[in-house]
Amino acid sequence: MAEPLRLLMLCMGNICRSPMAEGALRARLHGAGLAGDVEVDSAGTGGWHAGEPPDSRAIATAAAHGVDIGMLRARQLGPADFGRFDWILCADRDNLAQMRKPMQGRAKPVLLREWAACAHPLEVPDPYAGGSREFEHAWSLVDEAAARVVERLRAVRA
Protein backbone atom coordinates (compact mmCIF):
# COMPACT_ATOMS: atom_id res chain seq x y z
CA MET A 1 0.00 0.00 0.00
CA ALA A 2 1.26 3.47 -0.86
CA GLU A 3 2.28 5.85 1.87
CA PRO A 4 -0.51 8.32 2.73
CA LEU A 5 -0.39 11.88 1.47
CA ARG A 6 0.41 14.13 4.43
CA LEU A 7 -1.26 17.56 4.51
CA LEU A 8 -0.78 20.22 7.18
CA MET A 9 -3.31 23.05 7.40
CA LEU A 10 -1.70 26.29 8.60
CA CYS A 11 -2.97 29.61 9.92
CA MET A 12 -1.68 32.11 12.45
CA GLY A 13 -2.80 30.73 15.83
CA ASN A 14 -4.29 27.33 14.97
CA ILE A 15 -7.61 28.13 16.64
CA CYS A 16 -9.82 29.29 13.75
CA ARG A 17 -9.05 28.64 10.09
CA SER A 18 -6.64 25.71 10.23
CA PRO A 19 -8.68 23.58 12.67
CA MET A 20 -11.81 24.28 10.62
CA ALA A 21 -9.89 23.28 7.47
CA GLU A 22 -8.61 20.14 9.18
CA GLY A 23 -12.12 19.21 10.33
CA ALA A 24 -13.70 19.94 6.95
CA LEU A 25 -11.09 17.89 5.11
CA ARG A 26 -11.28 14.97 7.53
CA ALA A 27 -15.07 14.90 7.15
CA ARG A 28 -14.90 15.09 3.35
CA LEU A 29 -12.23 12.38 3.17
CA HIS A 30 -14.23 10.12 5.48
CA GLY A 31 -17.37 10.65 3.40
CA ALA A 32 -15.47 9.77 0.23
CA GLY A 33 -13.85 6.66 1.72
CA LEU A 34 -10.40 8.23 1.41
CA ALA A 35 -9.60 8.80 5.10
CA GLY A 36 -6.90 6.12 5.08
CA ASP A 37 -5.16 7.68 2.09
CA VAL A 38 -4.46 11.07 3.65
CA GLU A 39 -2.99 12.19 6.97
CA VAL A 40 -4.34 15.59 8.00
CA ASP A 41 -3.18 17.87 10.80
CA SER A 42 -3.11 21.58 11.55
CA ALA A 43 -0.77 24.07 13.16
CA GLY A 44 -0.20 27.77 13.62
CA THR A 45 2.74 29.97 12.75
CA GLY A 46 2.62 31.28 16.33
CA GLY A 47 2.44 29.42 19.61
CA TRP A 48 0.17 31.78 21.58
CA HIS A 49 -2.65 29.26 21.85
CA ALA A 50 -0.62 26.03 22.08
CA GLY A 51 -2.61 23.35 23.88
CA GLU A 52 -5.91 25.22 23.66
CA PRO A 53 -9.01 23.98 21.83
CA PRO A 54 -10.21 25.87 18.76
CA ASP A 55 -12.02 29.16 19.28
CA SER A 56 -15.57 28.50 20.50
CA ARG A 57 -16.94 30.23 17.40
CA ALA A 58 -14.93 27.90 15.14
CA ILE A 59 -16.22 24.89 17.08
CA ALA A 60 -19.80 26.16 16.78
CA THR A 61 -19.47 26.89 13.06
CA ALA A 62 -18.03 23.45 12.30
CA ALA A 63 -20.68 21.79 14.48
CA ALA A 64 -23.41 23.61 12.54
CA HIS A 65 -22.09 21.70 9.51
CA GLY A 66 -21.94 18.36 11.31
CA VAL A 67 -18.19 18.44 12.01
CA ASP A 68 -16.74 18.10 15.51
CA ILE A 69 -13.41 19.90 15.98
CA GLY A 70 -13.69 20.33 19.75
CA MET A 71 -11.08 17.64 20.43
CA LEU A 72 -8.37 19.40 18.42
CA ARG A 73 -5.64 21.30 20.26
CA ALA A 74 -3.57 24.17 18.92
CA ARG A 75 0.10 23.72 18.28
CA GLN A 76 2.86 25.72 16.68
CA LEU A 77 4.50 24.70 13.43
CA GLY A 78 7.87 23.13 14.13
CA PRO A 79 10.94 22.11 12.15
CA ALA A 80 9.90 18.43 12.20
CA ASP A 81 6.73 19.30 10.27
CA PHE A 82 8.83 20.07 7.19
CA GLY A 83 10.07 16.48 7.13
CA ARG A 84 6.78 14.87 8.09
CA PHE A 85 4.34 16.53 5.69
CA ASP A 86 4.21 16.66 1.90
CA TRP A 87 2.32 19.95 1.72
CA ILE A 88 1.80 22.83 4.13
CA LEU A 89 -1.48 24.40 3.05
CA CYS A 90 -1.59 28.01 4.22
CA ALA A 91 -4.74 30.01 4.89
CA ASP A 92 -3.33 33.30 3.61
CA ARG A 93 -0.33 34.97 2.04
CA ASP A 94 1.06 36.15 5.39
CA ASN A 95 1.24 32.53 6.58
CA LEU A 96 2.74 31.50 3.25
CA ALA A 97 5.37 34.25 3.44
CA GLN A 98 6.55 32.87 6.76
CA MET A 99 7.00 29.47 5.09
CA ARG A 100 9.25 30.88 2.36
CA LYS A 101 12.08 30.98 4.89
CA PRO A 102 14.57 28.17 4.24
CA MET A 103 13.49 25.01 6.05
CA GLN A 104 14.82 21.48 5.82
CA GLY A 105 12.44 18.83 4.57
CA ARG A 106 10.16 17.79 1.80
CA ALA A 107 7.08 19.86 2.71
CA LYS A 108 6.05 22.36 0.08
CA PRO A 109 4.21 25.47 1.34
CA VAL A 110 1.37 26.80 -0.80
CA LEU A 111 -1.98 28.52 -0.35
CA LEU A 112 -4.68 26.00 0.59
CA ARG A 113 -7.23 27.29 -1.89
CA GLU A 114 -4.67 27.59 -4.67
CA TRP A 115 -3.48 23.98 -4.15
CA ALA A 116 -7.09 22.83 -4.10
CA ALA A 117 -7.71 24.61 -7.45
CA CYS A 118 -10.40 26.89 -6.04
CA ALA A 119 -11.52 30.05 -7.76
CA HIS A 120 -10.86 33.39 -6.14
CA PRO A 121 -10.50 34.31 -3.37
CA LEU A 122 -7.32 32.31 -2.84
CA GLU A 123 -6.95 33.46 0.76
CA VAL A 124 -9.13 32.57 3.74
CA PRO A 125 -9.56 35.75 5.79
CA ASP A 126 -8.98 35.47 9.53
CA PRO A 127 -12.39 35.52 11.24
CA TYR A 128 -10.97 35.97 14.76
CA ALA A 129 -11.88 39.67 15.15
CA GLY A 130 -15.32 39.12 13.62
CA GLY A 131 -18.48 37.29 14.48
CA SER A 132 -20.55 34.40 13.24
CA ARG A 133 -20.77 35.83 9.70
CA GLU A 134 -16.96 35.90 9.36
CA PHE A 135 -16.62 32.38 10.78
CA GLU A 136 -19.29 31.09 8.42
CA HIS A 137 -17.49 32.74 5.48
CA ALA A 138 -14.18 31.16 6.52
CA TRP A 139 -15.94 27.79 6.84
CA SER A 140 -17.40 28.08 3.34
CA LEU A 141 -13.94 28.74 1.92
CA VAL A 142 -12.16 25.90 3.74
CA ASP A 143 -15.00 23.47 3.08
CA GLU A 144 -14.94 24.28 -0.64
CA ALA A 145 -11.19 23.68 -0.59
CA ALA A 146 -11.73 20.36 1.23
CA ALA A 147 -14.24 19.28 -1.43
CA ARG A 148 -11.77 20.19 -4.18
CA VAL A 149 -8.97 18.26 -2.46
CA VAL A 150 -11.20 15.18 -2.44
CA GLU A 151 -11.93 15.69 -6.15
CA ARG A 152 -8.20 16.03 -6.81
CA LEU A 153 -7.43 12.81 -4.93
CA ARG A 154 -10.18 10.91 -6.75
CA ALA A 155 -8.79 12.06 -10.10
CA VAL A 156 -5.27 10.95 -9.17
CA ARG A 157 -6.55 7.52 -8.11
CA ALA A 158 -8.75 7.06 -11.20
Going by C-alpha positions, the residue among 25, 23, 7, 27 that lies closest to residue 15 is 23
Q: Distance between CA atoms of 116 and 19, rounded to whole angstroms?
A: 17
Residue 16: active-site member: no
Active-site choice (11, 16, 90, 118): 11
Does 126 participate in catalysis according to the annotation? Answer: yes
Q: 114 by DSSP, 3-state: which?
A: helix
Catalytic status, residue 118: no
User: CA nearest 12: which of 95, 131, 109, 129?
Assistant: 95
For the chain, first and last CA: distance in Å? 16
Cis peptide before 54 (omega within 30 of 0): no
- Out of 41, 81, 92, 126, the active site residue is 126
From the candidates 16, 17, 143, 148, give the one annotated as an active-site residue: 17
Q: Let me know the angle formed at the C-alpha of 113 by 111 and 114, rounded to the nearest 5 degrees.
A: 65
Catalytic positions are 11, 17, 126
